[in-house]
Amino acid sequence: MSGQSREPAEEAAAEVRWLDPDELAAWMTFSALMFKLPAALDFQLQRDSGLSHFEYLVLAGLSEAPGGMRRMSDLAGFANGSLSRLSHVVKRLEERGWVQRRPSEEDGRITVAAITEAGFEQVVAAAPNHVTTVREYVIDTLTTAQLRQLHEIGEQILDRLDPGRSC
Amino acid sequence: MSGQSREPAEEAAAEVRWLDPDELAAWMTFSALMFKLPAALDFQLQRDSGLSHFEYLVLAGLSEAPGGMRRMSDLAGFANGSLSRLSHVVKRLEERGWVQRRPSEEDGRITVAAITEAGFEQVVAAAPNHVTTVREYVIDTLTTAQLRQLHEIGEQILDRLDPGRSC
DNA sequence: CTGAGTTAGTTGATGTTTCAAGTCAGACCG
DNA sequence: CGGTCTGACTTGAAACATCAACTAACTCAG
């Protein structure tokens, strides 16, 4: 708070449009969902495959890329994480023998991560259970219409969060 | 994710219903949303008020409780976190002078956390910006119908995640 | 009233994420 | 060419979360 000049509470409150009961209820639900669903997915992956969701995304991102390889910043974007976080995680995955890194030949600044045979087996083993869980928790709870709605709602919010992601 | 059939660990793989393109697209969008929206909210709170989202929820949960106090496990549920996590966080909030803890008089096992005057000012200062951000990113991007849809979708998924939460 | 069992919360070790700083390669400008 | 600038990472320290072990308070059966 310290950076800003704040008016006393009442004055600030006067300008704020608080959430009405419907809005609040919807937000509380959605907000709880945003905390619990990732936790549930993480739990399932950890239990069944010994992977965090982030690690799974990294391996999945590599396994579906051409040649099983991808540059770090690309992967970081795919897995929705910072480059620094990815770097640490890939180091651990490398220690477990599932990924290898080497500098790109075209541009020495770029690091290319490549999935190994063992890493590929790991994703192939993890994917069925994971997809089944995603179906169970999300996809199959919704009607086709709801899925379309969710897709659209998601796009709208993402556009607002990060304007200029589709230009 | 290519579903090649393999020998040992995958009697499951043959039976898995992979996501069709529409399902996959919807899931990817929703999934990105679940990672980016919390991060965006965290960022806004951190920048404007020096609080993590979890800390904000703790203070907000106290400030709206009768007497500004609430027992730990109750608060933990409200903020969607483990008791252990809450305990560490409340310790830090206590060091910052925003919360106080004391054992309950009725039952000595119970710890009651109470918000201080300074803590209350902190939430009051943080809330307007936070609500405005929630509006900007979520509520005001959606039509009334979409908000209702999102509410319903959220409820359905939460029910599946944690059956028996409304019994 | 005593001791096994349960509940509520805390703590310290461990692991993960973030943040700020650092390295190294290529691009650009004169 | 040489120097500065930017881009793509990596690293180590600090902040934070999670996990397992622990303590203290209550409950209740005998």
Does any strand C atom come closer than 7 Å to the Cβ of A105? no
Chain A neighbours among B 87-126 (CB < 8 Å)?
121-122, 124-126
Residue A163 phi/psi, 5-degree rounding, is: -65, 140
Mean pLDDT by groups of 10 residues along chain A of 167 residues: 40 76 96 92 93 97 96 96 97 97 94 97 95 96 97 95 67
d(CA B25, CA B29): 6
Nearest by Cα to B101 from B110, B114, B92, B89 = B114
Mark the nucleotides of strand C covered by protein, meaning any atom under 7 Å from a CB.
7-12, 16-21, 24-27
pLDDT bucket at B164, cuts 50 / 70 / 90: low
- Decide: CB of A47 under 7 A of nucleic strand D: no
pLDDT tens, residue by residue, B101-144? 999 999 999 999 999 999 999 999 999 999 999 999 999 999 99
Strand D and A111 CB separated by under 7 Å: yes
List the B166 CA – C16 C1' distance (angstroms): 34
pTM: 0.88
Write the residue in A128, A155, A158 that is nearest to B10 by C-beta. A128
Specify which residue's alpha carbon is closest to the C1' of nucleotide C10.
Answer: B87
